[in-house]
Amino acid sequence: MNFASDNAAPIAPEILEVIVRANEGFALAYGNDDWTRTLERRMSALFERDVAAFLVATGTAANAIAVAHCCQPWNSVLCHAQAHLATDEAGAPEFYGGGLKLVELPGDDAKIAPETLRAALGRGRGVPHSVIPGALSLSQSTEVGTVYHSDEVRALAEIAHARGLAVHMDGARLANAVASLGCTPAEITWKAGVDVLSFGATKNGAMEAEAVVFFDPQRAEGMASRRKRAGQLISKQRFAAAQFEAYLRDGLWLRLARRANAAAARLAEKLGSIGLKPVWPVEANEVFVVLPHETDQRLRQAGATYATWPREFLPPGTSGSQNDELIRLVTSFATSDADIESFVRVARGT
Amino acid sequence: MNFASDNAAPIAPEILEVIVRANEGFALAYGNDDWTRTLERRMSALFERDVAAFLVATGTAANAIAVAHCCQPWNSVLCHAQAHLATDEAGAPEFYGGGLKLVELPGDDAKIAPETLRAALGRGRGVPHSVIPGALSLSQSTEVGTVYHSDEVRALAEIAHARGLAVHMDGARLANAVASLGCTPAEITWKAGVDVLSFGATKNGAMEAEAVVFFDPQRAEGMASRRKRAGQLISKQRFAAAQFEAYLRDGLWLRLARRANAAAARLAEKLGSIGLKPVWPVEANEVFVVLPHETDQRLRQAGATYATWPREFLPPGTSGSQNDELIRLVTSFATSDADIESFVRVARGT
Amino acid sequence: MNFASDNAAPIAPEILEVIVRANEGFALAYGNDDWTRTLERRMSALFERDVAAFLVATGTAANAIAVAHCCQPWNSVLCHAQAHLATDEAGAPEFYGGGLKLVELPGDDAKIAPETLRAALGRGRGVPHSVIPGALSLSQSTEVGTVYHSDEVRALAEIAHARGLAVHMDGARLANAVASLGCTPAEITWKAGVDVLSFGATKNGAMEAEAVVFFDPQRAEGMASRRKRAGQLISKQRFAAAQFEAYLRDGLWLRLARRANAAAARLAEKLGSIGLKPVWPVEANEVFVVLPHETDQRLRQAGATYATWPREFLPPGTSGSQNDELIRLVTSFATSDADIESFVRVARGT
Amino acid sequence: MNFASDNAAPIAPEILEVIVRANEGFALAYGNDDWTRTLERRMSALFERDVAAFLVATGTAANAIAVAHCCQPWNSVLCHAQAHLATDEAGAPEFYGGGLKLVELPGDDAKIAPETLRAALGRGRGVPHSVIPGALSLSQSTEVGTVYHSDEVRALAEIAHARGLAVHMDGARLANAVASLGCTPAEITWKAGVDVLSFGATKNGAMEAEAVVFFDPQRAEGMASRRKRAGQLISKQRFAAAQFEAYLRDGLWLRLARRANAAAARLAEKLGSIGLKPVWPVEANEVFVVLPHETDQRLRQAGATYATWPREFLPPGTSGSQNDELIRLVTSFATSDADIESFVRVARGT
């Protein structure tokens, strides 16, 4: 009953297999290999335009290096107050960005509303006293398992672009969003105004494969140096490239994501049927519920793993007593029906 | 009718005079001079204990270098959302601190309440995912012209210290606060739990004299290098030291501050008498009022200078129409009665 | 005939196998897994004392984060002018270290001599004008395939420690050095005065496994945060830990290194026999020779891959014409006898 | 007998007087004042083209912020090994530049020769492994009191520009160089290829007045924010602007510099006549001589102040025993004939 995170799941068999296959003979290091070259072409095909893609070692690095590359150190990055960038990366954007500042915005369902963005851009005393907004960062899917529709992204991107901001998408769970929306990767990214994407595969079946994708390759000038000095240029890059290559080939990434999303939907439905309604709409692979402390204890004793979530993030007006816990359940391609059923059974307590 | 800021005022005559006096003959650069040595002794006498004081060129530098010196780059500094550090320094703390993060707290009268601090310290996922609170920064007097009483500082410092945070005081207007409170400098700083102080003289009559004061000199280890590499070691430091020396001699600093505070009180009283009640208590040398757009226009046409303040900072529930402006009026030792009277007369509009 | 670098070699079979094995079921991310816990114990056993080991994604990151953690931003790191840190990491130590400075020292065989270190430490105007030496970094084995003996390390470490410097060892090729010296890992590291080690497995058969090892765990305070914000905390860390675990189990790391070293020795001997004497002593897995431009062309046309090395690094007095090339040949556990023989045959040109 | 540095001299009377004069009434802070506006026009007139000039608090800040603004963090700045930037600023360029790297070049008379620059630009493994040269920094006058002729600057600037580097001039003592060369400020700066200038007045009679001058104002984009967040935007800037204004009015700056240069020439001549020949050509306001330890002791006992200089900087082949000291004597507009004569008399020892 592991619902701790999708990165607690194993490597998908197809991806493990490609690692073994990539291990034939010598291959020049630092990306001067055939797997990397193939991946570059595949990325461009996937997004229906020439892109510049840079593999990095972690999702935190992908986010931090992406926003740093779009900003001057005296810029701010506007993001939701629950964004991973803001809450879970120990200041990585600030470090990579030479001291840039995150401005955290509120918003229902962990999404930023256009009027919130517009108001935020209207604040401040101006140059040289205030930091200058430099980028907008959107998480897709969000930290609470919701997704932005392409018209929502477009509306935000238009506001951002009108003020000269770059638009970044944290796509650590992009696959879950695309699978949920049924759109193309192009539609939800550059066609909706996204300039740079953190594209993660690790949470959806890879061992370790994260990329930063610039939809305008010119925007990537200097990235090779920036990545190297960040210690993010992997020497045996063929293995990271191969993982991504297998991930994207024949739609594996969407098959894996659909499985994860379906598991979340099933889990949500069953929890709902025993009175544990999801706190936020279940649109990707995460389910949040509020449950009594006793239920939480019973589940943990039964061996279930999952994260307790800060109650301060609960929507205003959520009912519940002091005794309740807000918990996060994350599903993955590897989540079994049996685990879902066991979990719900223990939660029900009978 | 200049109420734009106390740093629009001229140099106080006693301080200008000491600059002239310090200009005799040669003196070794970089603080190896007699004026600096004298100042070090005076600072210790003023604060009733051995302190380590470092002159820097600006108030922004004083704040930024002080919090940077108390923190690791992965620390956060908790401050009020209206703190100068957070809104007016273009990311200086983030730059000096190698990417540290400011956490902005709400609070009436631009002051942080103990329960707000306690709640903020309870948030976050912990190491290694979250930044770690490293310092609390308090503005004294605050950005809205209120002051912390020593027991308020002590209550906050105790909470901070219990969690291992250092306590910084932004004393760009410390003189106004001390003059207002009628306490000793020691009582409102280290005796109340302050570890490091940005001590400004520039806004209260100096030409350019700012210091960072460590109440525990051991805490200052490395500061000489940190200041130099920040370009904050003034070569002809005798002149900055001399200004501070004159500022502190015979209580000049408090006389100047009392004059500024009295001017603010007078201005507030007269504005109140024509129906313009101060938005925040006038405890130092700043008066904020909400006035109709027409009044604002009339004042500006009459040559009054002052800052328009963001309406988002207005206390919830403040009455007023969309047509109103929130304005900030700052007084100084140089504010004349005539200017106050002219201002009120034009504001009254008759 | 791939002699480009040891990181062009494939994954050693034993290590690939453990990746497959580690892929069973769920495991908590970010190092909260059994493989990581096992590795921590193995590292301590290997070094015969309790150590604090931190996995990171790349060798560049290991070096940069290690020296950054031993230094203040106003410190310098003394290293050989040919050190990887100084020439090949695009400023990573400067980035991770908040602007620290590398001081490059000369020295025969890419090694620093005690008198050179002593002289370097005697320079500078002192605080606050000069940067302050904060760490000594030694490459083991060196960039030219030589090794420091433990008494050489000890002599340098004593000088460094006497001046308050930390001692870092860049052990990207530690295995080759230990295999060459026939000593224990403890003898060549902390017993000789090393405080922190970059311990690499990637160049010697791993897919991607690098660690920073603190011999005094207290010295590691804050490293968990520093690593996370650098984007160096790998989410599915079990796979990196498993690689290291297999690497160290039953002496695999030394068997692989001995194979690489033996291949270099064989290559050097055969090249010597055709008049191409190694420029530097072949003590690990690298061979440098000067050869005529025509020979270089012939080898490259035959498909040999290897690096051309800057002639400025040639020892003074090295004979050779303008027409010559200095080349670097790196061997690995995967270098075949056939490749060595082909290479020498083509080089001989008959 | 103070020859410690030109920044040990007092404020020139004309400059002190303007500070007094600027102290009339209120003036908006942060450069929104008439003195600043006047200075901007004067700077453009002085340099015979529209320039963007930014006042900062110290010479160290001017250098660091100038090179940082011309570089990315992964760039290097090439400078002479004796440059103030490299030896005396505690890593300020590295801090301001987000971890950029200084590459120190050798050269007679503390000047860089074209072939040295060309060779340095030819080194390195290239992107992404090596840092990329981003700027050339020239000190004018140099750290040993020599000057670059305009054709020397031009030759270096051409090499630099051809490789895409910006050219920075550290003009902490620009006045002494211009006075020595008898050229216009334009000829020795932008007409010879300089892109950005640190223009110092402090060492030549000001209290504290330093500027960064961009000859192409477009290059200055973002500087207002960069300066503010560095704590280098002086609040009562009218006083710094007024100093510079007086400094440049009616050629005061050159009159002061000529006096300093003449004093150095006189001192050098008289020292030469007693057998103490200057080590480097005396072209500005610094004289370096090697003297016996006993003479040094006698001078210090007589109250002379001056700096002992590292012997490692002596030109190869300089005669002298281990017992000798290399000393630096700096003159200023305030150096008296009497002091020169006393110094020489004590040095002669009779």
DSSP string spanning D201-251? -GGGT-SS-EEEEESSGGGGTTHHHHHHHTT---TTHHHHHHHHHHHHGGG
Quick one: average pLDDT of C140-144? 98
Burial of B123 (0-12, 13-18, 19+ CB in 10 A): middle
Residues D241-296: tens digit of each pLDDT: 999 999 999 999 999 999 999 999 999 999 999 999 999 999 999 999 999 999 99
Residue with more model confidence, D69 or A311 = D69
Nearest to C225 among B128, B228, B233 (CB): B128
d(CA B145, CA C53): 51
Strand order from edge to edge, sheet including C324-330? C286-292, C324-330, C307-308
Rounded Cα distance between D186 and A193, Å, is 46
Residue D147 has φ and ψ, to the nearest 5°, of: -130, 150
Of C90, C208, C229, the CB nearest to A89: C229
Chain A residues with CB under 8 Å of C26 CB are 2, 4, 8-10, 305, 334
Measured CA to CA, the distance from residue D334 to residue A247 in angstroms comes to: 75
**Type of residue numbered D101:** K
Q: What is the mean pLDDT of residues B59-69?
A: 98
Size of interface C-D (CB pairs under 8 A): 68
Cβ burial of C71 (10 Å; 0-12, 13-18, 19+) is buried
* Nearby residues of A296 by Cβ (< 8 Å), 6 or more positions away: A308, A325, A327
Rounded Cα distance between D47 and A286, Å, is: 64
Distance CA D30, CA B7 (A): 9
- Six token digits for residue A67: 């926003």
Handedness of CA A123, A125, A130, A132 (dihedral sign): positive
Chains in contact with chain D (at least 3 beta-carbon pairs closer than 8 A): A, B, C
Question: Which residues are registered as beta bridge partners of A249?
Answer: none
Residues of D in contact with B58 (CB under 8 A): 57, 231-235
Average per-residue pLDDT in chain B?
Answer: 97
pLDDT band at residue C323, thresholds of 50, 70 and 90?
A: confident
Q: Provide CB contacts within 8 A for B150, sequence distance 6+.
A: B181, B183, B187, B188, B191, B192
Look over chain C and give the mean of its residue pLDDT values, rounded to a whole number: 97
Structure confidence by residue, pLDDT tens digits, B206-259: 999 999 999 999 999 999 999 999 999 999 999 999 999 999 999 999 999 999
Residue D135 — left, alpha, or beta (φ > 0 → left; ψ -120 to 50 → alpha)? beta
Residues of B in contact with C164 (CB under 8 A): none
Q: Do C207 and A19 touch (CB under 8 A)?
A: yes
Chain A residues interacting with chain D (CB cutoff of 8 angstroms) = 30, 72-74, 98-99, 127-129, 131-132, 222, 224-229, 233
Contact indicator for A73, A99 with CB cutoff of 8 Å: yes
Say which residue the tokens 């506001």 belong to: A159
Residue C140 distance to chain D (closest CA, Å): 20
Q: Tell me whether residues C229 and B72 touch, CB distance under 8 A.
A: no
pLDDT score for B280: 98
Contacts A–B by Cβ distance under 8 A: 67
Residue type, B149: H
The average pLDDT across D187-191 equals 98
How is A220-253 classified by DSSP, letter by letter?
GTTHHHHHHHTT---TTHHHHHHHHHHHHGGGHH
Task: Categorize the per-residue pLDDT at A319 as very low, low, confident or very high, splitting at 50, 70 and 90.
Answer: low
**Which DSSP symbol is given to A33?**
S
Q: What is the pLDDT of residues D103-120, one digit of tens each?
A: 999 999 999 999 999 999
Mean per-residue pLDDT for A242-252?
Answer: 98
Question: Taking a C-beta distance cutoff of 8 angstroms, is the pair D284, D178 a contact?
Answer: no
Nearest to C74 among B30, B72, B229 (CB): B229
* Helix, strand and coil in chain C, % to nearest 5: 45, 15, 35
- Are the beta carbons of C129 and B228 separated by less than 8 Å? yes
ipTM score of complex? 0.97
Tell me the mean pLDDT in the region A290-314: 95
Q: Is the pTM value of this prediction over 0.95? A: yes
B130 Rama sector, left if φ>0, alpha if ψ -120 to 50, beta otherwise:
beta
Chains that touch C (3 or more CB pairs under 8 A): A, B, D
DSSP D36-50: HHHHHHHHHHHHTS-
Residue C24: CB atoms within 10 A of its CB come to 9
Chain B positions in Cβ-Cβ contact with residue A76 (cut-off 8 Å):
91
Give the closest residue to D105 by CA, choosing from C104, C88, C82.
C104
- Cβ pair B165, B195 in contact under 8 A: no
Tally of CB atoms within 10 A around B229: 25
CB A92 to CB C231 under 8 A? yes
Q: Do B225 and C99 touch (CB under 8 A)?
A: no
pLDDT digits (tens, 9 = 90+) for A94-112: 999 999 999 999 999 999 9
Contact call for C229 and A91, based on CB within 8 A: yes
pLDDT in tens, D121-167: 999 889 999 999 999 999 999 999 999 999 999 999 999 999 999 99
The tokens for C28 are: 């908590």
**pLDDT at residue C318 is higher than 90:** no
Phi and psi at residue A83, to the nearest 5°: -60, 140
Instruction: Extract the tokens encoding A186.
Output: 């192009």
Count CB atoms within 10 A of the CB of residue B273. 11
In B, which residues are within 8 Å of D36 by CB distance?
none
Q: How many beta carbons lie within 10 A of that of residue A308, not counting itself?
A: 12
Mean local confidence (pLDDT), B8-13: 98
Structure confidence at residue D319 as a pLDDT band (50, 70, 90): low
Distance in angstroms (rounded) separating the CA atoms of residues B203 and D110: 43
Dist. CA D139–CA D78, nearest whole Å? 12
Could you give the CA distance from residue A307 to residue A288 in angstroms, rounded to a whole number?
A: 10
Question: Torsion over CA of C17, C21, C23 and C25, rounded to 10 degrees?
Answer: 170
Average pLDDT over residues A154-164: 98
pLDDT tens digits for range A62-73: 999 999 999 999
Quick one: what percent of chain B has pLDDT higher than 90? 95
Question: Cβ contacts (< 8 Å) between B233 and chain C: which residues?
Answer: 128
Residue C171 and residue C197 in contact, taking contact as beta carbons nearer than 8 Å: yes
State the Cα angle at B47 between B46 and B48, rounded to 5°: 95
Mean per-residue pLDDT for A20-31?
A: 96
A183/chain B closest Cα distance in angstroms: 32
Domains belonging to chain D, first-starting first, are 12-252 (3.40.640.10), 254-348 (3.90.1150.10)
- Residue D153, pLDDT score: 98
User: Quick one: what percent of chain C has pLDDT higher than 70?
Assistant: 99
d(CA C334, CA A255) in angstroms, rounded, equals 37
pLDDT at A65: 98
More confident site: C225 or A312: C225
Task: Report the C-alpha gap between D126 and D113 in whole angstroms.
Answer: 23
User: Which of D209, D66, D199 is closest to B234 using CA atoms?
Assistant: D209
Are B146 and B139 spatial neighbours (Cβ–Cβ below 8 Å)? Answer: no
User: D336 to chain B nearest CA, in Å?
Assistant: 11
Q: Which residues of C touch D123 (CB under 8 A)?
A: 310, 312
Q: Of all residues in chain D, what percent carry a pLDDT higher than 70? A: 99
- Nearest C-alpha of chain B: how many angstroms from A285? 21
What are the residues whose beta carbons fall under 8 Å from the beta carbon of C62, sequence distance 6 or more? A231, C56, C172, C198, C199, C200, C210, C211, C212
Residue for token pair 């200009």: B23
- DSSP of C197-234: EEEE-GGGT-SS-EEEEESSGGGGTTHHHHHHHTT---
The predicted structure's pLDDT at residue A318? 78
Torsion angle (degrees, nearest 10) of CA B228, B234, B238, B240: -110
Length of chain D: 350
Question: A121-125, B238-242, B296-300, C344-348: which has the minimum mean pLDDT?
Answer: A121-125
Q: Any alpha helices (H) in B99-222, and if so which ranges?
A: 114-121, 150-162, 174-181, 185-188
DSSP secondary structure code for residue B220 in this structure: G
**How many A-C residue pairs are in contact by the CB < 8 A criterion?**
162
CA atoms of A16 and C207, how far apart (whole Å): 13
**What local confidence, expressed as pLDDT, does residue B319 receive?**
67
Q: Classify each residue of B294-313 as buried b or exposed e, where b means 16 or more C-beta atoms within 10 Å of its C-beta.
A: ebbebbeeeebbbeebeeeb
CB contact under 8 Å between D229 and A132, yes or no, is: no
Mean pLDDT score, B161-187: 98
Measured CA to CA, the distance from residue A153 to residue D270 in angstroms comes to 78
d(CA A276, CA A345): 12
Residue B350 has pLDDT above 80, yes or no: no
Backbone angles phi, psi at B305, to 5 degrees: -120, 135
For residues D200 and D153, give the distance between their C-alpha atoms in angstroms, rounded to a whole number.
19
Residues of D in contact with A74 (CB under 8 A): 222, 225-226, 228-229
**Interface contact flag, B27 D20, Cβ < 8 Å:** no
Instruction: Please write the tens of the pLDDT for every residue from B259-270.
Output: 999 999 999 999
Task: Determine the 3-state secondary structure of D138 from DSSP.
Answer: strand
The H or E element that residue C41 is part of is helix C34-47
Chain C residue with CA closest to B126: the answer is C225
Chain D residue numbers touching B204 (CB-CB < 8 A): none
